[in-house]
Amino acid sequence: MRHIAGMTEDARPVLSADPAAMTARAREVIRLNIEALQALEAGLDDSLARACEIILSRPGYLVVTGMGKSGHIGGKIAATLASTGTNSFFVHPAEMSHGDLGMLRKDVTLLAISNSGESRELRDPLIFCQREGIPVIGLTQRPNSFLGRSSAVCLTMPQVAEACPNGLAPTTSTLMTLALGDALAMVLMDRRGFTAEAFGLHHPGGKLGMSLQSVRDWMGDRPPAPATVPLTATFAEVVSAITEGRKGAAAVLNADETLAGIVTDGDVRRAFSRGDLGGLTAAAVMSPRPKVIGPDARMSDAIDLMTQNKIATLLVVEDDRPMAIVHIAELMQAGYVS
């Protein structure tokens, strides 16, 4: 039965079930993708730089749109842009024709994605942008298409074969689109001087986000005060402070309340092993040079410090005064370490 003129259902042989044949086909697809990316890199010109300057000069959002597979890739590009310092969001082009054109304020920039450049759903947004003076950055394989002609800057991808045997399913084209979107996002990120700390503010969730948080963020605005004792505290007072503090340690303070040292559960156990505890004071059992960290350091630095030094407790110190105690058990419970 004919579905497409000149093509029958058995026009193309079915791939063999032989594992070697399937592996060879998979390698062919990957090779085609690699060649597409190489062609994209070789053909890159200053259009990406011009696109970046337009985006950086505009006060509003970068709105990303695209239909079908281009839309799926566009959503990812918008998310990458938003997490790396460029305010961005994705809008479905068909929804724009039904009221969401109101999201295109005069101060925004539109990044429109279409491999052919002729997606009919893009026409209304493109015409609207022309009328309102909103600059369009087009991403397409065909610069002479409606999208290309409507763009202030056209990011043109090379015309390479799709990995799909019928030349229909987007494969190499979507990979090039994703790569070009990532390139745009990274150049913008570098131009803005976007830091890892700023990334952490946009990405507080997950293990990555938690590691980028500062120690101050982890403590919150009202961290529990650390257990403290003076240098002259008795051994019994030290044990009591550690027990009440529930962090496995107590900070030892000088007379002016600056940090003198730390007494941990381990220090207490070692003191017990020496016998006579009657005359022991905090000064006698403390570690005088404890590992400390500032509140504005990253949590990843705190974790590294604890791991490298094989310690379970870490003092957070500001202006030589203890603010809090970090315990490894808390970090494990919160998912900072596994």
- In this structure, are residues 75 and 64 in contact, taking their beta carbons and an 8 Å threshold? yes
**Rounded-to-integer distance, Cα 87 and Cα 143, Å:** 26
- In this structure, are residues 163 and 172 in contact, taking their beta carbons and an 8 Å threshold? yes
Share of the chain above pLDDT 90, in %: 62
User: What 3-state DSSP class applies to 110?
Assistant: strand
For 101-153, write each residue's pLDDT tens digit. 989 999 999 999 999 999 999 999 999 999 999 999 999 999 999 999 999 99
With a cut of 70, say whether residue 211 has pLDDT above it: no
For 2-21, write each residue's pLDDT tens digit. 344 444 455 668 888 888 88
The reported pLDDT for the residue numbered 65 is 97
Q: What is the pTM assigned to this prediction?
A: 0.68
The reported pLDDT for the residue numbered 5 is 44
User: Given the DSSP bridges, would you call strands 313-318 and 292-293 parallel, antiparallel or unpaired?
Assistant: parallel
**Rounded-to-integer distance, Cα 200 and Cα 72, Å:** 25
User: What 3-state DSSP class applies to 216?
Assistant: helix
Query: Which has the closest alpha carbon to 181: 284, 88, 105?
Result: 88
For 313-332, write each residue's pLDDT tens digit. 999 999 999 999 988 888 88
Q: Which of 40-49, 72-81, 101-110, 163-172 has the lowest mean pLDDT?
A: 163-172
